[in-house]
Chains A and B, each alone.
Chain A
């Protein structure tokens, strides 16, 4: 792990739901300020893998992890790691927009407050910056004190991104962030991902191969719990090395 450009990596990662082995020996590296797309048919383990990266799977009582996941070279499954601080550093945007039933302002301020920022003007400043970063500011600047549930689906998802950005994560995980949105909202999210990668390491699970091709630098193809092929997005989509990958990206199955 001498490469300074590696932000996060997994080494020989196995994941079990009870007796069922959902991930087999997945080793993968994520470079700083790059977008990596995880693709593959439903049930292939890509979302499970993503949720290992911020230990969201800890919430499932019968789950178990073997192998290592490294953040800046340190194993996050090491018992001395504080999972709460991990999740601050590795943020997450979920499949369905899930704003809290609070005001727009409070949604974004939430992460700041739980992480101990009390100063009012500091919170205001960071909330504004995060909403601007998520390309939502012009649409909500006059209604920050209104409920977030009144926003459209696409706006809600950008608010969730703003909420994730407010705590200044180093890595942003996105679990099919546009799958519940219409094409225009999807396009906005994708443009946003382009902007964000100048600052963040982004890992995105997507069902849409066009989306993977549009937004990512690297693509990893998962199938039945295994990492089949990983490479530069351009190469993987034009000249895949393996037949299985080619079959999937050309739509022959999946």
Chain B
């Protein structure tokens, strides 16, 4: 922890005063006494103020952590009884009041992986263009504005867009492909933002050194800049996708169906997915009350999946960082 000057004085007030008192020559001590007294009086007020403000900040941080803890605790408490080997590896039975959720797990995994495969290259390429190639100007400002606004579009609108464009207009039908593309479109702004931040944090001295050796701009980007930015790019992107993977609205019209016992064998198949399954069980199931544990169990699996993806991102980043050092 950093110790600021204020905190230092806070902890060692006598020492500080003694030191200044000693340093000042005899004569001026009296003349300066006024300001010293004022400073001492102010000091207690300043210290109190600082303590109060830090108390609020600390409180805010604790509430944040607590929120996650409460959510996870609640899910575990209510859902753990539903979790079993059977639950994770079987298809739903008896109108989804029994059996497992394997098709939903597979479906969500396919959707996430598909979204990454589509969004990562496009997002990283856009960010490289915006940050490394494009000359600042009106066009870039407009593109950036578009990307920023895309981030603010509600997920249900992405769902409707996916339905209108991918499912109907491009005739993909309700399918993994349409769902993954919709999720990809939704996570693009996040990936572009994360990648741009990561590229900006690469020092210009790397670029200069590379260009100075007779490397082209492209060689500089893919041999020096992108490797240095990779940890940030990957984490930001995976966080963006895992956020999207938990969404219901973008997939409910484009990829997920109420019930299908069949595991998909092509990207044009419809699937079940965890978030939509929770929604279905909780609002339109055949016996909503009786399937409560199943709902919580499914939610628990979804949370575990999302946290798992985030964890992979974090571990991956720290590995890459270590490699760069």
Asked if B211 and A164 sit within 8 Å, CB to CB, the answer is no
Give the shortest distance, in Å, between A90 (CB) and chain B (any CB): 9
Number of A-B contacts (CB under 8 A): 76
B223 within 8 A of A: yes
Asked if A92 and B212 sit within 8 Å, CB to CB, the answer is yes
Chain A residue contacts of B213, Cβ below 8 A: 87-88, 91, 110-111, 114-115, 163-164, 167
Chain A residue contacts of B224, Cβ below 8 A: 100, 110
User: B-facing mask of A99-118, CB < 8 A → 1, else 0?
Assistant: 11100000000110111000
Asked if A167 and B209 sit within 8 Å, CB to CB, the answer is no
B324 within 8 A of A: yes
Interface size on A, residues (CB 8 A): 29
Interface size on B, residues (CB 8 A): 22
| B324 and chain A: residue at smallest CB distance | A101
Asked if B135 and A61 sit within 8 Å, CB to CB, the answer is yes
Q: A88-B214, A114-B223 are in contact. Are A101 and B228 (CB under 8 A)?
A: yes
Instruction: Determine the distance from Cα of A102 to Cα of B203 in the docked complex, in whole angstroms.
Output: 14
A56 within 8 A of B: yes
Give the shortest distance, in Å, between B230 (CB) and chain A (any CB): 11
Asked if A110 and B223 sit within 8 Å, CB to CB, the answer is yes
Asked if B208 and A56 sit within 8 Å, CB to CB, the answer is yes
B149 within 8 A of A: no
- With beta carbons under 8 angstroms apart, the residue of A84, A89, A98 that contacts B209 is A98
Asked if A114 and B216 sit within 8 Å, CB to CB, the answer is yes
Give chain B interface residues in 198-217, CB to chain A under 8 Å. 203, 205-216
Give the shortest distance, in Å, between A76 (CB) and chain B (any CB): 13
Q: A110-B223, A115-B214 are in contact. Are A101 and B205 (CB under 8 A)?
A: no
Interface residues of B (CB under 8 A from A): 135-136, 203, 205-216, 219, 223-224, 227-228, 324-325
What are 8 of the A-B contact pairs (CB < 8 Å)? Answer: A59-B211, A98-B205, A100-B210, A110-B224, A114-B213, A114-B216, A147-B325, A163-B213
